[in-house]
Amino acid sequence: MLTAEELATRIQNYNPKSNFEMIVNAHKYGQIKHEGQFRKSGEKYFSHPVAVAEILVDQQLDDATIITALLHDTIEDTSSNKDEITKQFTSEIADLVDGVTKLTNMQLTSTETKEAENVRKLLMAIAQDVRVILVKLADRLHNMRTIKSMKPEKQLQKARETMEIYAPLAGRMGMQSIREDLEDLAFRVLNSEGRASIIRRFIVLQKETGDVVQRITDDMHSELEASGIQAKIEGRAKKPYSIWRKMQEKALSFSRLSDIYGFRIICSSDEECYRVLGVIHKRWRAVPGRFKDYISQPKSNGYRSIHTTVSGRNARRVEVQIRTQLMHDVAESGIAAHWAYRDGVRSENPFTVDPVKWITSLIEEFNTEEDHEAFLEAVKLEMYSDKVFCFSPKGEVIKLPKGATPIDFAYAIHTRIGNSCVGAKIDGLRAPLWTRLRNGQSIEILTAMGQEPQATWLEMTETGKAKTAIRRALREADRDKYIIMGQQLLRAAFEHFGKRATDKALENTAKKLRINDVQELYARLGSAELQPRDVINIIFPDFSTAKEPEIDQKLAVIGLAEGQSFNRRPCCQPLPGERIVGIATSGKGVSVHSIDCSTLASFEDNMDLWLDLHWHAGKHPSIYPITLEMTISNDAGVLGRVCTIVGDLGANISDMEFLDRKPDFFKLILTVDLRDVEHLHAILSRLDAENAVATVARTRRSGNHGS
């Protein structure tokens, strides 16, 4: 633990005007107040505030922020109070400490509190002074580094909260270094086996290829020096969580993942960045579709850099980021760069963006929204998403999250345009409404009188604004239908659990959920914005779902008319937990498809055949077959281990087909009977972590897999 003088000296090294005496007094004050207190690890408690202060010193922040870090637990855990801190130091520091204390007391992912309401309070606290979140992020980072001393259930709760709230918030603040550290530390708790498998494979790769990073760095230095360019080059392997996320998103095994190494080239000017880009592309082959110019089109959090991916040594892809030092400061520190000191003076970094504007717009946009879950969903989408910039026919730039569709674009212009949207033209050509937009495209929205939003649009949109408007329109247009469906859902759920609810209990539940009345509660249930389990848990909080009986297969789908049967189609093999739609067929049968099934395109001109269906909320039996395509090494016992993994996770292998047999590997198809989509994800994660499994992915094949 740093002494008061050591800490104050480190601060004066980058800020000679720092108040040495005040830093020392704050250190001694905190040490006295926390005297006799110990952490779960057995260390003196004050070692934690000092460690938090050290993290912020590394960011070269101002005195007030560092002192707040030293005192951030005094109001909550000691006899100190806000008035005393004001007298001892300043009102500015007292306000900051009080703000951090309020953030600490918010249980953001607790089931006992309103998560959305607390996230709203979190954003409002940040809007008062962004430095409170800088201290809180450093506090969370040190707590995650020392999380092993906590009880297992507390570790899981903190790790989920970190992954869902604090890591993406750090990213939205532009603090990529802290975001990556938080994600990886949370990943270690939430999926230690998956993280260990990534590290094991890295070790094997290094043994096979040697130090790839150093060799590529040397190659880049040689090329730049030959062109008369002096630049700093940093190379590294990507974090385990970053690799794992890419494996999940792209359904790739580690062996097929190419760009696991990243390089940063720090230049002296914007012009030199583009010169470096030319040198890199001249020496190495650029990968098509992997070039992004965030210098000419910065991200909304101020991030600027050129990104390109090239084929390096042995045809291995590497990602290259090219930026100036000022851009790099913002890329690493984000909003913290606004308070940072460089060479003894407050940094005036032209690339920093004040996130308060973003936070304020979120609060204003959703402050009147009664649906707190919609607010929470929108906040998380905003925090996680990168942006794309598209143009209206008049040349107006519309900023949208990555993955947005023409429907999002329509609602970004105006809710009326979104509600009446019937089609879109992208760069002058008609395109489906589910098309994912790309940077620089020109979008024209086609509208028609009498058009109303479709339920399937919810799965095609990315923005909270669009989702909220669509849900509101659906509730108003189909309110009666949703009320009836909600009543049926809730009645079926209560019967399934062997419970009953009085009208008064339902009225109280609606109030707790901030819903106007019971009819609106039914409507929310019918539109799938609320699950019957949520209602049951409020009315019967002590009820254990561990004893929950399995759902009868005939009752698995909600939304069918009396006497109708359903047929789960083999083209997409939908599982409980996935969004589904029904297509009415001849007789009383209904074909059930997942919302993203390509077969649905052939029914676009017959929307009257479409039915809005939902899987029954509850425990389903393991009877829904899906197919997995795998490549495994041809070694003794490998196939047996695969079968054991599937069996241990409560699934049954009902069919096996070998597609290819080679001396070193087998390629095969497994048909596995599962409960739901979570069951599928658990099996894929376990199999993918197995070293002998080169690839494993869900595949949709034709066959007789009806329900």
Cite the active site residues.
76-77
Sort 576 into a burial class: Cβ within 10 Å, 0-12 / 13-18 / 19+.
buried
Distances (CA, A) of 136 to 11, 132, 675: 20, 6, 40
Two tokens at 360? Answer: 């304020």
From first CA to last CA, the distance across the chain in angstroms is: 63
User: What are the structure tokens assigned to 640, written together?
Assistant: 């047996």
Give CA–CA dist 97/92, Å, rounded.
9
Q: Residue type for 701, please?
A: R
In angstroms, rounded to a whole number, what is the distance separating the alpha carbons of residues 223 and 265? Answer: 12
Which of 130, 140, 176, 142 has its CA nearest to residue 161? Answer: 140
Task: Give Cα 65 distance to the centre of its chain.
Answer: 28
Determine the Cα–Cα distance for residues 297 and 509; give it in Å rounded to an integer: 47
Dump the DSSP string for 349-401: -TT---THHHHHHHHHHHTT-S-HHHHHHHHHHHHH--EEEEE-TT--EEEEE
CA distances from 46 to 53, 563, 606 (A): 11, 68, 68
Q: At 613, give phi and psi (nearest 5°).
A: -120, 160
Distance CA 522, CA 490 (A): 8
Residues 6+ away with beta carbon under 8 Å from 446: 421, 422, 423, 424, 425
Exposure class string for 302-316: b at 16+ Cβ within 10 A, else e: bbbbbebbbebeeeb
E-assigned strands of 158-284? 232-237, 261-267
DSSP letter at 42?
A: S
How far is the CA of 137 from the CAs of 101, 134, 476, 692, in angstroms? Answer: 13, 5, 41, 39
Q: Based on the number of CB atoms within 10 Å of its own CB, is 111 exposed (0-12), middle (13-18) or buried (19 or more)?
A: exposed
How far apart CA 393 and CA 428 sit, in angstroms, is 10
Q: Which amino acid is at 454?
A: Q
